[in-house]
């Protein structure tokens, strides 16, 4: 079974994430959306809300699971038996950042990183932009799946 994780904070999940997940499930037998928890980081949405947003967005796809983890992503991969890490790339800056992490993960484990380019119509969307729109009372609904409502 080809199992992958798609790690991130998903604070909140965006249409860019959604795009990567939809296309990623076609590559793997199972895709675990892995919400990393960092005690040093403050989040706009609770872990429970972030998990709910994702579960509801993919309720019709049994091959997509949602989990949270702490610590190294490769340790979580080993824990759940995932041989792949799925990552989305929006721009050249993402590539440089993600490449360094992928090389490090490969050095420390046998886990492969698979990169997908975010669809061009969604490549400008990031969780930080969505949070900024929300903080300023803008219409965030154009940037996130319908399940992100509060």
Q: Strand pairing of 64-69 and 112-117? A: unpaired
- Mapped onto helix, strand or coil, the DSSP state of residue 40 is coil
Alpha carbon separation from 146 to 55, 61, 70, 86 (Å, rounded): 12, 16, 28, 23
Active site residue 65: no
Task: Determine which one of 2, 9, 23, 41 is catalytic.
Answer: 41
Task: Determine which one of 63, 127, 128, 131 is catalytic.
Answer: 127
Residues 6+ apart with CB under 8 A from 143: 14, 15, 125, 129, 130, 133
Q: Are 43 and 53 in contact (CB under 8 A)?
A: no
Active site residue 90: yes
Active site residue 136: no
Cα angle 21, 24, 30; round to 5: 95
Task: Determine which one of 3, 9, 17, 52 is catalytic.
Answer: 17
> What residues act catalytically?
17, 41, 90, 127
């Amino acid at each position: 079974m080809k199992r992958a994780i798609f790690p991130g904070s998903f604070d909140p999940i965006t249409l860019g994430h959604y795009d990567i997940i939809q296309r990623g499930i076609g590559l793997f037998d199972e895709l675990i959306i892995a919400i990393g928890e960092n005690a040093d980081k403050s989040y706009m949405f609770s872990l429970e809300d972030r998990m709910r947003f994702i579960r509801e967005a993919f309720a019709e796809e049994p091959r997509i699971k949602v989990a949270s983890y702490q610590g190294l992503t490769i340790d979580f991969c080993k824990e759940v038996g995932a041989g792949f890490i799925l990552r989305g790339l929006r721009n050249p800056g993402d590539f440089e950042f993600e490449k360094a992490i992928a090389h490090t993960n490969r050095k420390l484990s046998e886990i492969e990183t698979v990169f997908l380019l975010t669809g061009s119509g969604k490549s400008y969307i990031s969780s930080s932009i969505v949070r900024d729109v929300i903080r300023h009372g803008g219409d965030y609904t154009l940037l996130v799946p319908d399940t992100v409502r509060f």
